[in-house]
Structure 1
Amino acid sequence: MTKRPPTSSQHAEYDRKPRRPPPYGERKLLEQFPDIPYLKFGKIIGHGNFSHVYEGTYHDKINVAIKVIERGSERMLETEIELLEDLKGAPHIVQLYEVLSEPQTMLVFENVQNIDRDDFYSDLTLESLRFILQCLFKALEAAHERDIVHRDVKLGNILITPDFSNVVLIDWGCGTYISNSMSAKAGSRSCRPPEMLLGYRNYGCKCDIWAMGILILSLLSDGVLPWKARNSNKSLQVMAEYFGGKNLYEITKRLDLEQEDLPFEIGDPKYTLESCFSDDFDDLFDPDLIDLMKCCLNLDLNKRPTASEALKHKFFHDQ
C-alpha cells in the first residue's frame, strides 16, 4: 500500500484566530418541557449547532425525535420546514410529523434508531455498504426530482439501524430549492465540490453527488480527508495535489470563474485517491465501488452522474 500523503493540517500551520461570538445568538434552552397532552418528552439523544433533540412519544404510541430549535436563522428554518413538507413520503428521508411554535419552535420527526459509531465500523461489510449507498442515492433521487438539494450529505447526517435494514437521510437545514444563484458556502467545507470552493453558485444538485463520493472515500480511508481544512483556498491547494492543478484550472475556465491568484499550482497530480485508503478497511476495496467513488468525484460537475444514473452503476448490479 502506498504511504499516505500528508493531510491538509500537516501541510501548513494555521494562525489561531480568537473565537467569534455565535453568529446566530446565544442558545435559548428549554427551562422545562412544555405541557402538550399528546407529546411526551424523554432524554436528549442528540444536539447540533442550533438545537437539541429529545426522544419522545407522539399520541401515546409513536416513538418520535423532537428537535427543539434554540437559535438560528428564521429564514433557514422556514426553508427546512418547507423542504421537509415537500419530501413527505420520499424514500429514506426523515419524515416530519408536526411543527410546534410554543414556547419555541419544535419539529416532531419519526425516530429511527441509529447504530453506535463503533459498531458501525466493526460490522460494516461490502454488502451493507452497498445497501446504504443505494438507499442514499434513492433519497437524493427523490429530492432532486423535486428540485431540492441537501448540501450536507455526510455520515453524521445519516441514520442507520443497528441491523443495517434501514437508512435515513436527516438534517435538511442546509438544504434549499435549486436555483442559479445558491450559496457557495453551504454545508461542511470538506464535503463541498471544487466549484463551490471556487465560489460558483449555479452548481445544481451535483454537489450532493460529490458528497457521496466523499462519503465513500472517508469510509475507505478511515475518515481521513486530505483536503479537510480551515478555509477554501487551503482545501483547493491540497485538492490540486490529488486531481491536478491543471485540471482544476480547466474547471475555472469552463465555469467562467476568476483565474487570477488561484491558490493552487497549475501542475499534475502528486497523489492518487487510493493512497488515502486504510488497510483496516481492505475488505471494502471493491473495484466497482472505487469506480463509483471516482465517478462521483469527477471535477467536472456536468460529468458526474445524476442520482438516478448512479443507481444504475455496476456496483449495484454486477454482484
Structure 2
Amino acid sequence: MSRTIAIAEEKRRPPTIQLPRIPTAICYKRPLEVRNHETNRIIFGDSDNYQILELIGRGRYSLVYNAFDSSRRDSCVVKKLLDEDTNRIKRELRYLSILKRGPNIIRARDVIRLDVVGEKFKYGVVFEKIRNVDFRILYRQFDALEIRYYLYQLLNALSYAHHQGIMHRDVKPENIVIDPDARNLRLIDWGFGALYLPGQAYFCGACTLAYRAPELLLGYRHYDYSMDMWSFACVAAGMMFRRDRFFEGVDERTQMQIIGRFLGRQMLDDYLQKYHIRSEAAQLVGQEDSMLDSQ
C-alpha cells in the first residue's frame, strides 16, 4: 500500500481542474513521438571519444563520472544510467533535447553505449562540465545579493522548462549545480520530468519528500507546474535561513505536520482550497487544530 496519505476520492478529485497561468496546450501541439517516448530512436555517438575518469556522484538510477572528450579536447561529465526501464531513459533524453537551448539548464552533448556485453549495454549521457561546490558549504556563504542572483537563474531555468510544457518534479539543492567562480547555475537531472497535460493524473511520489508540495503529500494527482514552484520556495528558504532542509519530515504525515505548523491553519486551508482539497484534510494527517494555529 502506498505511503501517500489517502483522501476520500470526492475530496481529492476536483470538479474542474484549475489550470496554470502558463499556456497549457503546448504539449498537445508537439509531435506524437515526443509524447510517446517508446517510439523515439536514439542516435549514439562514439564511446571511444570519451575517457571515463573518477566517480564523482551516485544516485538511485545513475553513476556520474568525470571524463575527457578527446574529440573536443576538453573535460565533460558522463552519467551512466543504471535504470532498466528503456522508456524512462528515452523520456529523459527527449526532455534534454527539448531543453537544450534553455537558460541555466544542463546541456547534454552526446549519448553513448557503456559496459557493452553482446547486445546488452548501459546508456551513457555526456554533459557539459560545470564545477560544483557542495550546497551545504556554499549556501552558508551566500550574501543576500548572491541569493537573489542564483535564485533568479533557477527561475530562468524553470520558466523555460514550463513554457516548453515540462515539469522537472525533483527540484532540490542536489540537482542544482553552482560554480561560484564563474557565477553559473545549472538545473540538472531531468529523470523525473513529465510533460504537463491538463487533467492528467500523475504519480504523487514524485519529488524528494523535503521539497514535495502539500497537494502531492495529500494525494492530489492532477498537479501542474506549481509543484516545482513549491520546491523552488523550499530551496530559497534553505538558502536564506542557512538550513539544509527547510521542511524535513520522516514521512508524508510528519512532513504535513511541519508545513502546517509553519503556515498556520488559515494559510494552509487557503492553499489547499485551490485544489478543492477540503480543510478536513488537515485532520487526515493526525493533527489537532492547535497544531495548525498561526504562530
* TM-score in terms of structure 2 length: 0.73
SS in structure 1 opposite 2:149? Answer: helix
Q: Which residue in the other structure is 2:250 paired with?
A: 230
1:256 equivalent to 2:276? Answer: yes
Q: Distance in 1 between matches of 2:132 and 2:233?
A: 22
Counterparts of 1:136-175 in structure 2 under 5 Å?
136-163=154-181, 165-175=183-193
Task: Give RMSD over aligned pairs.
Answer: 2.4
Q: Which residue in the other structure is 2:208 paired with?
A: 188
Q: Distance in 2 between matches of 1:169 and 1:86?
A: 14
Give the partner amino acid of 1:265: E
Q: Which residue in the other structure is 2:62 paired with?
A: 51
Q: Can you list the C-alpha shifts for 1:55-113, whole angstroms capped at 9, x where unaligned?
A: 11221413210001123533322211111111011110000111123421111111111
Using a 3 Å threshold, how does the CA distance of structure 1 residues 232 and 85 change in structure 2: closer, same or farther? same
Q: Which residue in the other structure is 2:95 paired with?
A: 83
Q: Distance in 2 between matches of 1:226 and 1:64?
A: 32
1:124 equivalent to 2:146? Answer: no
Contact 1:244-1:267 within 8 A present in 2 as well: no
Post-superposition offset of 1:41: 1.2
SS in structure 2 opposite 1:85? Answer: helix
Match of 2:234 among 209, 214, 221: 214
Using a 3 Å threshold, how does the CA distance of structure 1 residues 249 and 72 change in structure 2: closer, same or farther? farther
Relative contact order higher in (CA < 8 Å, ≥ 6 apart): 2
Which blocks of at least 5 consecutive residues in structure 1 are unaligned?
Answer: 1-34, 273-319
User: Percent of aligned positions with the same letter in both sequences?
Assistant: 26
Match of 2:105 among 93, 96, 111: 93
Q: Distance in 2 between matches of 1:244 and 1:36?
A: 54
Which blocks of at least 5 consecutive residues in structure 2 are unaligned?
Answer: 1-45, 117-121
Q: Can you list the C-alpha shifts for 1:142-171, whole angstroms capped at 9, x where unaligned?
A: 100001011111111111113151111111
Post-superposition offset of 1:54: 0.9
Post-superposition offset of 1:126: 1.6
Q: Distance in 2 between matches of 1:118 and 1:60?
A: 33
Post-superposition offset of 1:216: 1.5
Post-superposition offset of 1:183: 1.4
Q: Distance in 2 between matches of 1:72 and 1:266?
A: 46
SS in structure 1 opposite 2:284? Answer: coil
Q: Distance in 1 between matches of 2:183 and 2:273?
A: 44
Q: Distance in 1 between matches of 2:141 and 2:264?
A: 35
* TM-score in terms of structure 1 length: 0.68
Contact 1:244-1:266 within 8 A present in 2 as well: no
Give the partner amino acid of 1:82: R
SS in structure 2 opposite 1:230? Answer: coil
